[in-house]
Amino acid sequence: MLILAIESSCDETSIAVVDGNKILSNVISSQFVHSKYGGVVPEIASRAHLRIINEIYHQSLKEATVSIENIDAIAVTNQPGLLGSLIVGVNFAKGLALKFNKPIIPVDHIEGHIYSGFLEDPTLEFPAIAMVVSGGHTAIFKADSFNQYTTLGLTRDDAAGEAFDKISKLLGLGYPGGPIIDKLAKLGNPQAFNFPRTMYNSNDYDFSFSGLKTSFKNFLEHNYDNHPPKEIIPDLAASVQSAIVDVLIKKVFAASDEYNIKNIVIGGGVSANSFLREQAFAKAQAENKRVVFPAITLSMDNAAMIGFLADKKLSELGGDAFRDFTFICGANSLRSKYPKKKKINLINKNY
Ligand code: KG4
Ligand code: ZN
């Protein structure tokens, strides 16, 4: 079944055409306009989606060499995310579905990330522990099947990517901060400074990264009057990166131990981090576990993961189950949408 999927929840406009786990196109346009503000500005993001979405749509069909008439269903991210950004994608999707008389399948963005490892590697088996680490989310899930998953833990405040971004801003390094810190850290010593690893020993799967940002800010203020000398920037980058990665690795492997699950998937923008990858692969090898990092284009926000999940729903329920155009966009916080320890039935979930 051919699915045209649309993703616009944050600052990437993406449209993909997928056929099961075959990706025919996955066009992703990132909005660089936010870099001068040090973070995503919601109003600018929604306007940028609006400007480019039609072009991305045509490009995606062209790359896939299919026409809209041959598409079996439209899929779209409807939650969670920036409301104005979600509205652009959802209304574009609804317009297409109405005009061309196609079923429309709303997909949860986080669920897209959770299952992206199965799109990357079809040999990966359930159950799996899935960690989603991005600018907006940091969470650990236990995925039992394409129909069922459980939330094990969530960040209580900032996401890991947000910590990278805010610390980069404090150092005047630019946005997004993750790739910049990653690069600089390669030249530095991760043990040069000791920054807090909040909740490292909390015996649960929750995270908290806002304290690290505050501690880093205070450190710069007290020691360097906010202007650290250039030569220590790589050591600062390596030390702060190590504080973030240590907590991520500890929690995701602890979940794998507790539930006796050897398959681990790490997705979301922060999963591009080279130190995180290095640590995860080394630990997996030592503990005889399997860790899958989706390719960058499937880790960052992308429409292919949305189409892939929509295909599972469509195969299970059939097109007639997706003729409801009244679903809305949800910007709710992760904590209310993904209750801990409660099994979520994904296919029959009420959107
Ligand atoms: O998943 P994503 O593209 O968008 C959402 O936030 O949903 O993730 C973007 C985040 C940003 O915070 C960015 O700084 C971070 O991913 N990131 C990285 C790296 N590449 C991107 N963080 C650490 N190391 C990287 N190499
Ligand atoms: Zn995301």
Integer Cα distance of 337 and 169 in angstroms: 30
Ramachandran angles phi, psi of 165, nearest 5°: -65, -45
Integer Cα distance of 48 and 306 in angstroms: 21
pLDDT of the residue at 201: 96
Give the model's confidence band at 340: pLDDT under 50 very low, under 70 low, under 90 confident, else very high. Answer: confident
Q: Mean pLDDT over residues 319-346, rounded? A: 79
* Residue 97 and residue 211 in one domain: no
Asked if residue 38 has pLDDT above 90, the reply is: no
Integer Cα distance of 277 and 297 in angstroms: 16
Q: Mean pLDDT over residues 2-16, rounded? A: 96
Which H or E run includes 152? strand 148-154
Q: Does the beta carbon of 38 sit less than 6 angstroms from any atom of ligand 1?
A: no
* Residue 37 and residue 165 in one domain: no
Q: Is residue 351 part of a domain?
A: no
Which residues are CB-neighbours of 214 under 8 A, at least 6 positions away? Answer: none
Q: Is residue 342 part of a domain?
A: no
Provide the token pair at 313: 């729903």
The alpha-carbon radius of gyration of the chain (Å, integer) is 20
Choosing from 164, 242, 296 the residue with most ligand 1 atoms within 8 A of its CB, the one to mutate for a pocket test is 164
Give the model's confidence band at 251: pLDDT under 50 very low, under 70 low, under 90 confident, else very high. Answer: very high
* Residue 161 and residue 93 in one domain: no
Q: Is residue 131 part of a domain?
A: yes
Q: Tell me the CATH number at 14.
A: 3.30.420.40
Single out the residue of 106, 103, 173 nearest to residue 349, CA to CA: 106
Q: Does the beta carbon of 164 sit less than 6 angstroms from any atom of ligand 1?
A: yes
Q: What does the CA dihedral 139, 142, 144, 150 come to, rounded to 10 degrees?
A: -70
- Please measure the distance between the N-terminal and C-terminal CA atoms of the chain and give it in whole angstroms: 22
Q: How far is the CA of 132 from the centre of ligand 1 (A)?
A: 11
Single out the residue of 63, 51, 36 nearest to residue 303, CA to CA: 63
* Residue 291 and residue 305 in one domain: no
Q: Is residue 93 part of a domain?
A: yes
pLDDT of the residue at 346: 79
Give the model's confidence band at 192: pLDDT under 50 very low, under 70 low, under 90 confident, else very high. Answer: very high
Which residues are CB-neighbours of 319 under 8 A, at least 6 positions away? Answer: 72, 73, 103
* Residue 38 and residue 70 in one domain: yes
Give the model's confidence band at 245: pLDDT under 50 very low, under 70 low, under 90 confident, else very high. Answer: very high
* 281-306 tens-digit pLDDT: 999 999 999 999 999 999 999 999 99
Q: What SS3 class is residue 252? A: helix
* 98-148 tens-digit pLDDT: 999 999 999 999 999 999 999 999 999 999 999 999 998 999 999 999 999
* 200-231 tens-digit pLDDT: 999 999 999 999 999 999 999 999 999 999 99
Give the model's confidence band at 342: pLDDT under 50 very low, under 70 low, under 90 confident, else very high. Answer: confident
Q: Is residue 173 part of a domain?
A: yes
Q: Mean pLDDT over residues 260-287, rounded? A: 97
Sheet with 22-30, edge to edge strand ranges = 22-30, 12-19, 2-7, 73-79, 104-108
Atom of ligand 1 at shortest range from CA of 268 = 1
Ligand lying closest to the C-alpha of residue 294: 1
pTM exceeds 0.75 for this model:
yes
Q: What SS3 class is residue 40? A: coil
* Residue 183 and residue 142 in one domain: yes
Asked if residue 334 has pLDDT above 80, the reply is: no
Q: How far is the CA of 103 from the centre of ligand 1 (A)?
A: 32
Atom of ligand 1 at shortest range from CA of 161 = 12
* Residue 192 and residue 284 in one domain: yes
* CA distances (Å), origin 314, targets 19, 105, 107, 196, 301: 12, 8, 11, 45, 22
Average pLDDT of the chain? Answer: 94
* Residue 307 and residue 192 in one domain: no
The CB density around residue 120, as the number of other CB atoms within 10 Å, is 21
* Residue 274 and residue 322 in one domain: no
The CB density around residue 35, as the number of other CB atoms within 10 Å, is 12
* Residue 135 and residue 14 in one domain: no
Q: Does the beta carbon of 294 sit less than 6 angstroms from any atom of ligand 1?
A: no
Give the model's confidence band at 350: pLDDT under 50 very low, under 70 low, under 90 confident, else very high. Answer: low
Question: If you take atom 2 of ligand 1, which residue's CA is the nearest one?
Answer: 269
* Residue 188 and residue 211 in one domain: yes
Q: Where in the sequence is the domain holding 61, given as residue range(s)?
A: 2-113+301-336
Asked if residue 310 has pLDDT above 70, the reply is: yes
* Residue 143 and residue 275 in one domain: yes
Ramachandran angles phi, psi of 193, nearest 5°: -130, 150
Which H or E run includes 6? strand 2-7
